[in-house]
Chains A and B, each alone.
Chain A
């Protein structure tokens, strides 16, 4: 709203001189081309179908979210410079081994600008679950990743059931994982690709 008021004030000024009219017109074109003032808001994905995506992990293997239908997915956005992320990741790796047979799948999405930093961190921490590089589009589809760590839990039916932003007690996440693992998938949930919303892709 503030932005709209601001634009209105600019327009009023602009009417005074032709030069300003041109400037305002150029600004409007720039805004229409992609920049948005004030309208940006983190989308809520909780209790909605998880936006689908396909990414390539750091080992070169494709990771397609919809292919994990029937499993509980822990989707973790992290970065090498994020101290609390580095505390969580070994815990997630332990959970992958502990709960994997019951249907947990951990996926890591690095928000590092540089894949080299992500690779080094994954190697140093001994992470064995799939980790891929993130991008602006994927982040936007999950409501914007504007603070780390950020972790989602997706149930066996492909619905986002929990969102943990910032430092979170591992026990809190683990409790939710156990709740979700205890719930059976709905019929057809394990059929794979038909599940999660949005266009697959990066």
Chain B
């Protein structure tokens, strides 16, 4: 009698556990993809402001294609001369825009991504954008390291910009 109750309890716990596990698997499968942190970008793939500034007048293969992968409104205010807006890297529309922009380019193209919307540890855009380009096979991708934001780390340092003003 007593052992029968124990057996039923154990069986119930096992079923509950299995159900819970299945639920977690389903949740993981269907949940929106987790934001890829900027910290996922290898340090060797970062480029610093002075280095990029020095490349703005480079020619040929040394001149990077510079893509802003953050906010359109910020891009319209001010952006790095010659850079293009490529959509927010954290949004599906943004990654589609970025994919479309680079689709026809040779995988050896020198590409620099930047955002600067937020402090580096909070930027939702550069990580996914970098990951996408790597997955597409691009081999010369760098990401501009902006510790605070584009205003503080580029504009206020007197580096060249294009924009609304």
CB pair B160–A2 under 8 Å, yes or no, is yes
Nearest to A79 among chain B residues (CB) is: B71
Closest Cβ–Cβ distance, residue A51 to chain B (whole Å): 14
CB pair A145–B57 under 8 Å, yes or no, is no
* Given A165-B152, A166-B148, A40 and B76 contact (CB-CB distance below 8 Å): no
Is A167 interfacial (CB 8 A cutoff)? yes
Nearest to A43 among chain B residues (CB) is: B165
Is B122 interfacial (CB 8 A cutoff)? yes
**By DSSP majority rule, is chain B's interface helix, strand, loop, or mixed?**
loop
Is A125 interfacial (CB 8 A cutoff)? no
Is A121 interfacial (CB 8 A cutoff)? no
* Given A84-B118, A146-B116, A42 and B151 contact (CB-CB distance below 8 Å): yes
Nearest to A30 among chain B residues (CB) is: B162
Contact of B155 among A134, A144, A148 (CB under 8 A): A144
CB pair B118–A83 under 8 Å, yes or no, is yes
Interface size on B, residues (CB 8 A): 35
**By DSSP majority rule, is chain A's interface helix, strand, loop, or mixed?**
loop
Contact of B165 among A36, A82, A147 (CB under 8 A): A36
CB pair A147–B152 under 8 Å, yes or no, is yes
**What would 20 more interface pairs be, CB under 8 Å, given A36-B161, A113-B73, A147-B151?**
A2-B159, A2-B160, A6-B160, A35-B162, A37-B162, A38-B158, A38-B160, A38-B161, A81-B90, A82-B117, A84-B122, A111-B71, A111-B74, A113-B71, A134-B73, A144-B155, A146-B152, A147-B119, A165-B149, A166-B118
